[in-house]
Chain A
Amino acid sequence: MARHRRVTNLEEDKPELSISPLIDICFLLLIYFLVTTTIKQKERDNSMMLPSAAPSESQPDIQPFFIKISNEGHIFANVGAAQELLDRESQGPERILPLLDSRLEIYAAAANAGNNKPLVQVYVEAEAEQQVVSDVLNHLAKHDITTVTFTDLVLQDEQSK
């Protein structure tokens, strides 16, 4: 009996690492972070090159497509007598501008057919909301049109000279 007691004592003396508190803490932290985390939507890019910032000397080979955005958020194409109303407001949660979309599709296809880079000039009235401008830029991005000129920037720069 005495011999047996000495063997068990040897076993008890062996140092062991207890993992359970570590796991407890890990779960506690996990639950804490799960509860306190608020999932934020990731922001996205709509990148545009604005040649108005660095106007080129040479004339572009292709006639630019002209878009006007009024204070009320209406979208027009062309200028002067040829001006026509395209869309009054965007539709649905995807904010689609159907008429502008079809026009841009034709314009981009024509430009690509002639190996030209599609150019778009946008005139935005002062009180138009940024969301409407973004809707138009969104449709430009859809058709891979990345060269945009905000015409009023050039005009006002020229006036200030």
Chain B
Amino acid sequence: MASNKLRASQREQDDDTQVDMSPMIDMVFLLLIFFIVNATLIIVEMDKKVVVPIARYSEKQNDKMGRIVVNVYSDEFAGEGRFRMADGKEVFANDDDLTKWIKEQKEYWEDKGQKPRLHLRADGKVHFTYVRRAIRAGAAAGVNEVIFVSLWSRKS
């Protein structure tokens, strides 16, 4: 019963190609939620007070599992503690305390089926005597593999 004019206007409307965005947005949010839920975030924390040395032949950090992060501070920041955990907040009272913590971390990673490694973030200016103490604490806890952390180059 519709008039010719109405029919013509309806035909014009049908010819208009429009992209419906709502399913795409639905899918994007769905994928986002999927990846957020599935992602296992592994971060090796870095305290920026420790300026690690430069080493051109060092390798890219591929496997971030099993790392026991110990920071060794230069004299400038050693006032609050020479050896600290990854975030730089927890200070080790003495070498025995450090050894005990490394041992706990070693057991934690071994339980997860990972090989524990001492991830040593020593400042480039620190005297080796302190680095040696950290290595020795690791050795006493039974961790043989030591990762000396470095940068590829220094940005000016």
Contact = CB atoms under 8 A, between A and B. Distances in A.
Contact of A43 (B151, B154, B155): B151
Interface in A39-53: 40-53
Given A17-B21, A43-B150, A130-B122, A48 B145 contact: yes
Contacts of A47: 59, 117, 145-148
Contacts of A50: 135, 139, 144-146
B150 A134 contact: yes
Nearest to A69: B128
B85 to A, nearest CB: 16
A4 interface: yes
A95 interface: yes
Given A50-B139, A51-B144, A150-B132, A44 B125 contact: no
Given A7-B6, A43-B151, A46-B147, A138 B55 contact: yes
A42 B131 contact: no
Contacts of B98: none
A125 interface: yes
- Find the residue from A133, A153, A157 having the highest chain B CB count within 10 A: A133
A161 to B, nearest CB: 13
Contacts of B114: none
B38 interface: no
Given A3-B6, A130-B124, A150-B135, A44 B58 contact: yes
A45 B121 CA distance: 10
A144 to B, nearest CB: 10
A50 B126 CA distance: 20
Interface residues of A, number: 47
Contacts, number: 154
Contacts of B3: 3
B59 A134 contact: no
A131 B152 CA distance: 13
A134 B55 contact: yes
A79 interface: no
Contacts of B150: 43-46, 134, 138
A48 B146 contact: yes
A100 to B, nearest CB: 13
Contacts of B144: 49-51, 53-54
11 contacts: A17-B21, A41-B152, A41-B155, A53-B143, A53-B144, A125-B128, A129-B125, A138-B57, A138-B58, A142-B56, A150-B135
Interchain residue pairs A-B with the least CB separation, the first 10: A53-B139, A134-B53, A44-B58, A131-B124, A138-B55, A126-B129, A131-B53, A142-B57, A53-B144, A46-B148
